[in-house]
Amino acid sequence: MGITRKKNTKSNSDRSWRNLVSDKRRRPMSSVAWKRSLLGVGKVLLLIALLGGAGYGIWLAREHFQRNPGPVDLTGPALPVDSVKYSTDGVFSLNSIKRMLQIPENATLMDLELKDLRSKLEKEPQIASARVRRRFPSTLQVEISEHKPLYRLFIRPKKGKPEMWLVSGAGVIYKGKDFRNATLRALPYLNPHSSLLKKDEDNGYQPISVLKKVSPLLEIARSDFPELFREWKVVSFLRPDADESDPGAHVRIESTRVKDMRFAPRDYRAQLRRLKYLLLEPGFKNKMSIDSIDLSHGRSVFARL
């Protein structure tokens, strides 16, 4: 039996590229796609604008320098210094700062040498450190840190009246300026041995470095035991930098209520606590005057009423 093949009714001419084209129409762009497209176009336009602006600026600068040869001033118009802004952690007033700086009249910021101004400030013994900056167009910024007084000290020149000086906790000796009288009256007097007072090159006095061993006693008392510190009048000491093998080393305080108090030059906080508790004892509490209290022998306290 013979096999018959079915003939393809469609001719090869019907198989063309047109048959591959989809009948579906292209979907419209969504709003997000439109935004992305516009954003891309905007970036391109912005880049073109920036490049054009840069080119125009270069052309303008070239024209300017061709017409105006010479150095370029990038600081703007020079104005005289019209104000001094300052900050301090101490008591100096603005007028005192200006007197120390001695800024010439009509001087501009660029006329001033900042290192020289800083040196002028730090020559003042009351100033521990200084910083000077320019704030354009016409303001000078000054920041200073001052030594904090912890003692008053009276020194009698060879031919003259006693002069009051102030002494910091680190032993720096200086003439106090711009302090209120109430602040000075709250400070106890320092009574050091005369051998510790040595003149310096500027007609002042060299620091008493050994006070670094004494001052923590007063600093702790002033901050944590103010009711005791307010009564302290005179401070003296003997070999406070010695170790525990020296039983004679001590710090001596004369106060309104206790004529003579002695502390070992170490562990001041514990000794101050013992002193506070002792003065609250019935035998001491009502006493208006006490001859002596010695706390320099460890936990043992010797007192004489």
Give the number of other CB atoms < 10 A from CB of residue 114: 13
How would you classify residue 106: left for phi > 0, otherwise alpha for psi between -120 and 50, otherwise beta?
left
Q: What is the pLDDT at residue 93?
A: 96
Nearest to 268 by CA among 205, 223, 207, 233: 223
Distance CA 219, CA 147 (A): 14
Radius of gyration of the chain (CA): 42
Element housing 50 (H / E): helix 31-67
Bridging pattern class, strands 258-263 and 290-297 = parallel
Beta bridge partners of 294: 262, 302
Domains and CATH numbers, the chain: 83-146 (3.10.20.310), 189-304 (3.40.50)
Q: Transcribe 178-225 into DSSP letters.
A: S--HHHHHTSPEE---GGG--B-TTSSB---GGGGGTHHHHHHHHHH-
Q: What is the pLDDT at residue 261?
A: 98
Distance CA 144, CA 146 (A): 6
Q: For 243-282, b where at least 16 C-beta lie within 10 A, e where not — what string?
A: eeeeeebbbbbbbeebeebbbbbbebeebbeebeebbeee
Distance CA 214, CA 169 (A): 8
Distances in Å between the Cα of 288 and the Cα atoms of 51, 200, 249, 257, 295 are: 89, 43, 28, 6, 20
Would you give per-residue pLDDT tens digits along the chain (305 residues)?
455 555 555 455 555 545 555 555 555 667 766 677 777 777 888 888 888 888 887 877 776 655 555 455 555 567 899 999 999 999 999 999 999 999 999 999 999 999 999 999 999 999 999 999 999 999 999 999 999 999 999 998 888 899 999 999 999 999 999 999 999 999 999 999 999 999 999 889 999 999 999 999 999 999 999 999 999 999 999 999 999 999 999 999 999 999 999 999 999 999 999 999 999 999 899 899 999 999 999 889 999 98
Largest CA distance in the chain: 155
Q: Is there a contact between 81 and 138 (Cβ–Cβ < 8 Å)? A: yes
Element housing 119 (H / E): helix 114-122
CA atoms within 13 Å, Cβ hemisphere of 123 = 13
Q: What is the pLDDT at residue 73?
A: 53
Nearest to 144 by CA among 104, 101, 190: 101
